[in-house]
Structure 1
Amino acid sequence: MTTTATVAPSRSVLLRTGVIAAAGALPIAGQLYVVLPLTAEIRGLSGHTNSTAALSSTVFALVYAAGILALGPLADRFGARRLMVASAGATAAVTLLAAFAPSAPWFLLGRAAQGLAAAAFTPATLAYIARTAPSSARVPLNTAAIGAGLASAVVGQVVAQLIAPLAGITGVFVVFAVAAAVAAVAARTLLPSDTAPADDRPSAGAVHRAIPGLLMRPRLVLLYCTGLTFLSALVALYTALGADGRWPSATLLILRASSLPAVVVAGLITLRLSAAPPRARILAAVGIAVTGALLCATAQTLTVGIGLFAVIGAIALAAPSVVAEVTRLGAPAIGAAASLYTVAIFGGASLGAPLAAALGNGLGTVALGSAAVLALGGLTSAIATRT
């Protein structure tokens, strides 16, 4: 099966790939977080219950995870760019419909539809990068895609918080729908196709049958375990930060937002370290993340800010290198391999709040636990990448 472009893309094509990957991830992956500041607006929907606001996140996340496994591997059948365009376009359409949901039940149905539509974008993007970019460019491009996904957790909430007082849920969702539509058009018109010849494509059944085989490869499974630790630790830290109760809301907003530039810094560092061995990049970044989590354990405002900056920056450094190894080891089932990694990442995110609760929601204890989780991820990556 042909999975790699035969002609190296130009620098301008690589630049467009990175920009579209990042710009698309912000409104599409950001759908997971956009409802978090909208609790009051959701309670204004007819037919709402006390659990509607929480369910609006849960139903999206559950369908999103299932959709990644169902739709992501189809990049190997239909082409990654096609799947990117279809996912972004469908996300725009269902987000626009959800913007005008007449009641809470319809809104929750719209959230489920958003989860399904958005699910394919990240694995398709990672598969597209793996197929079309030379090996030297994959880590920087993965950094753009994954870094934007991390940044969407902050950007999505901030944008929603700014728009909601003026235009409510409808205004927030219309803005995100337009942004997703722009990403679909940009991917369709500005990115070269990666579709293999018709006689060289696996069947739709074959791309899903590749999943059990990938899970039988020990190095891949260890790298998926590494991915599982990243957002579980980060979400646990952010959960404890809010639940700890020692900081006013204005300080919390600053602490949360101040880590956003770390994604940009990580991208700049990645450009300079792209020639370094993957093992060295991953282990160094995980070491920085562990150190950042330990700084958070002091529960002092300045050191917590520095610690969060270090953790999110280190994850933005490590995750793209892990993805590059996953897609390399998963070939030729690149779409399926990227899908499993995406499930691991977001599966870890769903474990963050329970981890914080199990550790008592105190920032000091949760930070120590998060450091241990990240160190475990470093151990599994060290084993997976040893020669």
Structure 2
Amino acid sequence: MARDYYGTLGVRRDATPEEIKRAYRKLARELHPDVNPSAEAQDRFKEVSTAYEVLSDPKKRQIVDLGGDPMEAGNGGMGGAGMRDPFAGFGLGDIMDAFFGSATSRGPRSRVQPGSDALIRLELTLEECASGVQRDITVDTAVLCDACEGAGCAPGTGPQTCDTCGGRGEVQSVQRSFLGQVVTARACPVCRGFGEVIPDPCQQCGGDGRVRSRRTISVKIPAGVGDGMRVRLASQGEVGPGGGPAGDLYVEVEELPHETFTRDGADLHCTLRVPMTAAALGTVLPLQTLDSTEELRLEPGTQPGTEVVLPGKGLPRLRSSGRVDGRGDLHVHLDVVVPAKLDARQTELLRELATLRGEEQPELASNGRVGGGLFSRLRGSFGQR
């Protein structure tokens, strides 16, 4: 029986060359002798490398898809002499059967499948996003069954070849049409396409090779992260069926609102309410930033809506490579507050200031005789007719 190169890499039979390459690289990183020196891992690494060598070569892959094995010595993998025409010696009915998927078997599916990725969300304050933080998080994922070590079989037992499909993983049905004999294939309903069954499944995992488990892992969040950003933890996700390699765990940041600052990338914005007198006379105010207290100097005559920028007092700029490249700025927007109520003395002083600056406001009397405002002058001109 031809070897299942697709199952060795854990990919579908219609996988693209890019998907085959990604699957090989992922397995190679886990099984390379420099990383995993065990004898079992070295044997598995050789199998993975051979599978990639075959499936990355279009001619060899064609032989595999036709049911042959290009790595068999002396016959080119097709039971004949070398790389011959795959349809040589076939009759018309055989060729039609080949096109309808009946001349060759796709082979059983591998019980060992890669695991899926997992996602967990982590709430962080603006201060934690700015400084970075290391947290212990609890995750609930599928992990390798320690009773059967992923095999899915009870101790001392093993899988057996499926009697229904004979280990092919599929069953065929024959129909006749005007084109001749048409054979269709579908996954074996007994073994579900694996080609083998587990008579005595593991009591702990039920034959799946993995169990659900809650565990605590430590994650380091770099400085400068923002809402929606993700930190990847390789091989910390779901273990695959049959004890397959685990996927990745992604920790997504949820940034909590801040009571003072709003964020725009690496820049921060805040609004500072300044008394009218301080804006007119100028002053120096203490301003608490995320990590220090700064002196904010206001020049005399500061106008409402003025923006003061404190360079480098924002958040770290986090590049796609994970490195920090400088910091953003803090933008302070000034809101000049005009008093809504004045006592008698304050009113007197303010009127005196207005007089000194020539900014006194005219008063309108009900009879139009007091004050020199526009409305009083208009009333007087109409009254002289």
TM-score normalised to the size of structure 2?
Answer: 0.25
* Bigger proportion of residues as helix: 1
* Bigger proportion of residues as strand: 2
TM-score normalised to the size of structure 1?
Answer: 0.25
Q: Which of the pair has the greater relative contact order for Cα pairs under 8 Å at 6+ separation?
A: 1
